[in-house]
Amino acid sequence: MSDKLLEVKDLRTSFFTHLGEVKAIRGISFDVEKGESIGIVGESGSGKSVTSLSIMKLLLYPGKIVGGEILFNGEDLVNKTNKDMMAIRGNEIAMIFQDPMTSLNPVYTIGDQIAEAIMKHQKLSRKEAHERALEMLKLVNIPDPEKRIHNFPHEFSGGMRQRAMIAIALSCQPQLLIADEPTTALDVTIQAQILDLMKSLNAKLDTSTMLITHDLGVVADVCSRVVVMYGGLIMEKGSIRDIYYEPRHPYTMGLLKSIPKVASDEKQRLIPIPGTPPDLLNPPTGCPFYARCEYAMRICNTQQPPYFKSEDGKHESMCWLLHPDAPKNEKYELLKGGVKIGK
Amino acid sequence: MAKYIVKRIISAIITIWFIMTLTFILMNSIPGDPMSMGKALQPEVEAAVRAKYGLDKPLIEQYLTYLKNYTHGDFGVSFQKIGLTTNRIIADGFPYSLKIGGWSSLFIIVAGIGFGIISALKQNKIPDRVMMIVSTLGATVPSFVFATLFLYVFNRKLGWVPSFGAGTWKHYIGPVLCIGMFSLAYVTRLTRTSVLDVLQQDYIRTARAKGLSEGVVIIKHALRNALIPVVTYLGPMIASLITGSFVVEKVFGIAGIGSLFTTSITNRDYTLIMGITVFFGIFIVIATLIVDVLYVFIDPRIKYD
Ligand SMILES: Nc1ncnc2c1ncn2[C@@H]1O[C@H](COP(=O)(O)OP(=O)(O)O)[C@@H](O)[C@H]1O
Ligand code: SF4
Ligand SMILES: [Mg+2]
């Protein structure tokens, strides 16, 4: 128990729009151990960002946590006041966002923006904070940092801005780093550099990471465990091995097929999953993937499947096909052996 | 940076030259000679004017003389009254308009931006709704209606302010409010929209994610960005307020440059019209120039090379 940094238990988050309650997160549970990196994967709209903003308690009106617990070092963040959260944000839990082009304030220098969090949480003077900011810029491999620290965001490239965001996030040595699609907006070579940087810094600073992405290919290198989300629910979670080589959920299998194979020679086309995610204003009563699932059975439409666990209990999948009474489907059994991925 | 400012000054000078040329062409393309318009002139006035401006000379020469006089700060003499010059009118009327426009600008900057921020932070709550209704009125009610209403209530009914002239500070309350009403409403709305827009930006979320307090997020991270479009409006606004308003000056009985300008138009006093037009033009160009230079300090993204 003591080695759990973050435990999310049956978290539910909704947006109370004029059309009604959009149930963006409908009861998810997962945990992050100290020093561990986990991946949260799912298509756009599956609830990844809402999950991370719920943990940070940065949901904007009309978003609200409606149930569950978020235990951070054993303390429930759900009941914390904004004032309590201010001491945690940027200090114990830090976050980097998808779009580095818009995530930095255009009118302040990079140095000021890094120093700001340091001054706030570490009670350092302006000068000391700027020295620390310079160290951070060196740490994230910004060339010519003494000069660059005085630059404004528009003088930085996209990749450099994301490095600066990482510098801000890690400046107070947080215990948990939430990275919400940190490489999605960057081109492929820069993506790899940023991921490498995050990986090496996590090891160096002993920070746990929640890496959020819609690309299963991205997490393989960085994370030890993966949570697969869809329609505001966790479809499957397990170790990297479980998810890549023994996927049990048709949605995970679909995601695996849609991984871009950059490193491989074979010019294989991406196979996106046909169809669109469910309407969270009126979420389906059964399996959220029912409408798009090629193996869907009658029960899938009416009853939400429970989690079926592997023998060690660490690989969990929400799919009726794993029920002992489910009819055997040959293709599914074959895919369960794992989809070959190029890397 | 210095290069940018020099460049902007040069382009301001070119703009002023352009305004002068355009004014000259327009005034000369109005059918009829200024001398032949309206009531007959006294012979000595006509002679003085013709001598001064060489109206019998070719147009190009007239144009060059005009440019020369203006660059020496001589904005022309009246066609209608001996001894009356544009410079005199500016010296007499402008101080009043400057005072009214200046206070009005200050009031708008403080109150307009303040109201706009409050409105945005209380979006769709009662203070916001009230301010939006009031600012809609402010932007749509014509200033003469507002001025008349103001005098009726605060002079006639309550007797708090004098009705006519520019003797004491109390005389200025009405003109300052009436002349600035539209801009106050506009700045309030502009600030509100801009603050709401900036609060949606990703960098505001980044600021919150750093653990900054809501006050710091709003004052340091949101306002600095939100005020950029407001500053753009302020330059031309201040220029237009300071150059006076005929309607407001007439209602409150103040001989400011706005009403003197209008009088010279109704009198068809050509040289005065030209002189004041160019003076206003220069004023607006300079105000815009100041904003452009300020911009460099406010928005680091401005490219000045
Ligand atoms: N401000 C909002 N108002 C209403 N619904 C929202 C809002 N933000 C998110 N949602 C809902 O939450 C769902 C999940 O969004 P999000 O977490 O951003 O997905 P992603 O996995 O792409 O990060 C969306 O499909 C949408 O239905
Ligand atoms: S529960 Fe049914 S619909 Fe859902 S993924 Fe499994 S087979 Fe497909
Ligand atoms: Mg997202």
If interface means Cβ-Cβ distance under 8 Å, which residues of chain B face chain A? 201-203, 205-214, 221, 224-225, 298-301
User: Per-residue confidence at A275, pLDDT binned at 50, 70, 90?
Assistant: confident
Residue A66 placed within a domain: no
In a domain, A222, yes or no: no
Q: Is residue A76 part of a domain?
A: no
| CA proximity to A149, closest of A160, A159, A158 | A160
Q: What percent of chain A has pLDDT over 90?
A: 78
Which two tokens mark A232?
């505001």
In contact, A289 and A235? CB cutoff 8 Å: yes
Cβ neighbours of residue A235 under 8 Å, at least 6 residues apart?
A: A42, A228, A229, A249, A251, A252, A288, A289, A317, A318, A319
Kindly indicate the confidence band of residue A343, based on its pLDDT and cuts at 50, 70 and 90.
very low
B301 to chain A: closest CA residue: A154
Burial B201-234 (b: 16+ CB within 10 A, else e): bbbbbbbbbbbbeeebbbebbbbbbbbbebebbb
* Pairwise CA distance, residues B75 & B85, whole Å: 7
Q: Which residues contact A147 (CB under 8 A, 6 or more apart)?
A: none
Instruction: Divide the 305 residues of chain B into consecutive groups of 10 and give the mean pLDDT of each group.
Output: 86 93 86 59 72 74 89 83 84 92 96 96 93 91 90 90 85 91 95 97 97 96 94 90 89 89 83 88 89 86 70
Please give the span between the terminal C-alpha atoms of chain B, in angstroms, as a whole number: 7
Q: What does the alpha-carbon distance between residue A75 and residue A81 come to, in Å, rounded to a whole number?
A: 13
Give one DSSP letter per residue of A304-334, joined into a string.
---PEE-TTS--EE--GGGSTTSPP-HHHHH
What is the rounded (10 degree) CA torsion for B248, B251, B252, B253?
A: 110
At position A313, the amino acid (one-letter code) is: G
Q: Look at ligand 2, atom 3, and give the residue with the nearest C-alpha.
A: A290
Query: Does A329 reside within a domain?
Result: yes
How much is the ipTM here?
A: 0.91
Domains present along chain B, CATH in parentheses = 93-266 (1.10.3720.10)
Which run of H or E residues covers position B248? helix B246-251
Only one residue has tokens 């799919």, namely: A319
- CA distance linking residue A132 with residue B73, whole number of Å: 58
| The model's pTM | 0.87
User: CA-to-CA distance for A147 and A110, rounded, in angstroms?
Assistant: 11
Interatomic CA distance for residues B103 and B95, integer angstroms: 12
Residue A90 tokens, joined: 């940027």
CA of A45 to the centre of ligand 2 (A): 19
Encode pLDDT of A135-187 as tens digits.
999 999 999 999 999 999 999 999 999 999 999 999 999 999 999 999 988 88
Contact (CB, 8 A) for A201 and A135: no
> What residues pair up with A16 in beta bridges, in sequence order?
A21
What is the total count of domains within chain A?
1
Q: Do B202 and A102 touch (CB under 8 A)?
A: yes
Contacts of A91 in chain B (CB under 8 A): 211
Query: Residue B114 phi/psi, 5° resolution?
Result: -60, -50
Rounded average pLDDT over A207-236 = 93
Pairwise CA distance, residues B181 & B145, whole Å = 11
- A82 belongs to a structural domain: no
CA distance B210 to chain A (A): 4
Segment holding A244, helix H or strand E: helix A240-245
Q: Is residue A310 part of a domain?
A: yes
Residues of B within 8 A of A88 (CB-CB) are 211
Tokens at residue A168, please? 């801000």
Length reported for chain A: 343
